[in-house]
């Protein structure tokens, strides 16, 4: 049995739909069972044969977190630790979602060029959100060493507010929009990430004795890299192609300094997927997944 925590969010909803379609036994909860209440967690798992806990719950309002430190820390650090302790008690494993914000965003160089962050690269978060997510990773692994942490980035999907929906709306409302062009990363379709999560969990059914897939940190985004500006341009092209955007809109590149935010965004947060691909998982290019997403809209 899988326990899906955060089943009402963008990723959680995709996971719930996939689990239902594949007829995999699971139970889903959102805020009605608080990850901050160890007693409530223990009560919930009574008489349930929970083998995996998938934690999609998090404080993700990056700018708001700068002023809401206590709650952000509770949800992103204490919550995962509580789940790790519970998992150890009941003999379950945790699969926890983390973020590119655990890195500083200062590119690491190979042959003079930026290279994608690997799982074992030093973290160096700059804001409250990233610091609490990094601490959550450490606390979870200390409490439950068999856990899997899956870092992702630039997530979008059908079930919740995200960059793609915002761009489609603004492009239908305005003649001109400005988008940051000096931050590089990789968009990730929530559907693809949900598929990757279930792939990892399915691997555990093919092992005898050993912990499989191996515990630790993995990265998953779609393949390739881009800027927010070029991401927006591709959204516009596809939106026009499929008739979702019905007017002309000029997209102008901005620098980070021209678009100030309370929390600093990573200038470079491309994540290496070599570790997860070594387990046999194929990763679609971000352009292909974006086209599928907008076509489905």
pLDDT (0 to 100) of residue 205: 74
| Architecture of the domain delimited by 2-160+186-225+269-284 | 3-Layer(aba) Sandwich (3.40)
Q: Who has greater pLDDT, 207 or 27?
A: 27
Mean pLDDT of 23-29: 98
Whether this prediction's pTM lies above 0.95 is answered by: yes
Query: What residues does each domain of the chain span?
Result: 2-160+186-225+269-284
Q: CA-CA distances (angstroms) from residue 176 to 237, 248, 252?
A: 15, 9, 7
Mean pLDDT of 58-83: 98
pLDDT digits (tens, 9 = 90+) for 83-93: 999 999 999 99
- pLDDT grade, residue 122 (50/70/90)? very high
- How many angstroms separate the CA atoms of 227 and 135, rounded? 28
Mean pLDDT of 84-106: 97
pLDDT (0 to 100) of residue 167: 98
Q: Is 173 exposed, middle or buried (0-12, 13-18, 19+ CB in 10 A)?
A: exposed
pLDDT digits (tens, 9 = 90+) for 139-154: 999 999 999 999 999 9
- Catalytic residues, which ones? 129
pLDDT digits (tens, 9 = 90+) for 27-62: 999 999 999 999 999 999 999 999 999 999 999 999
């Amino acid at each position: 049995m899988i326990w899906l925590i955060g089943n009402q969010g963008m990723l959680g909803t995709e996971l719930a739909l996939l689990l239902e379609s594949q007829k995999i036994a699971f139970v889903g909860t959102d805020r009605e069972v608080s990850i901050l209440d160890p007693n409530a967690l223990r009560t919930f798992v009574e008489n349930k044969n929970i083998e995996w806990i998938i934690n999609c719950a998090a404080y993700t309002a990056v700018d708001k977190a700068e002023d809401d430190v206590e709650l952000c820390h509770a949800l992103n650090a204490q919550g995962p630790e509580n789940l790790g302790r519970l998992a150890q008690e009941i003999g379950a494993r945790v699969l926890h979602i983390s973020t590119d914000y655990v890195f500083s965003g200062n590119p690491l160089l190979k042959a003079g060029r930026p290279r994608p962050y690997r799982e074992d690269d030093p973290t160096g978060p700059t804001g409250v959100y990233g610091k609490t997510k990094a601490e959550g990773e450490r606390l979870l692994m200390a409490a439950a060493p068999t856990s899997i942490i899956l870092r992702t980035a630039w997530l979008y999907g059908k079930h919740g507010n995200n960059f793609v929906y915002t761009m489609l709306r603004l492009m239908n409302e305005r003649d001109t929009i400005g988008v940051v062009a000096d931050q590089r990363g990789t968009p990730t379709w929530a559907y693809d990430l949900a598929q990757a999560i279930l792939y990892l969990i399915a691997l555990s059914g093919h092992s005898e004795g050993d912990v499989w897939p191996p515990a630790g940190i993995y990265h998953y985004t779609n393949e390739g890299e881009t800027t927010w500006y070029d991401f927006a341009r591709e959204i516009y092209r596809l939106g026009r192609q499929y008739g979702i955007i019905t007017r002309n809109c000029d997209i102008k590149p901005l620098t980070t300094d021209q678009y100030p935010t309370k929390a600093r965004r990573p200038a470079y947060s491309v994540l290496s997927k070599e570790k997860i691909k070594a387990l046999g998982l194929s990763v679609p290019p971000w352009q292909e997944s974006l086209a599928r997403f907008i076509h489905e809209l």
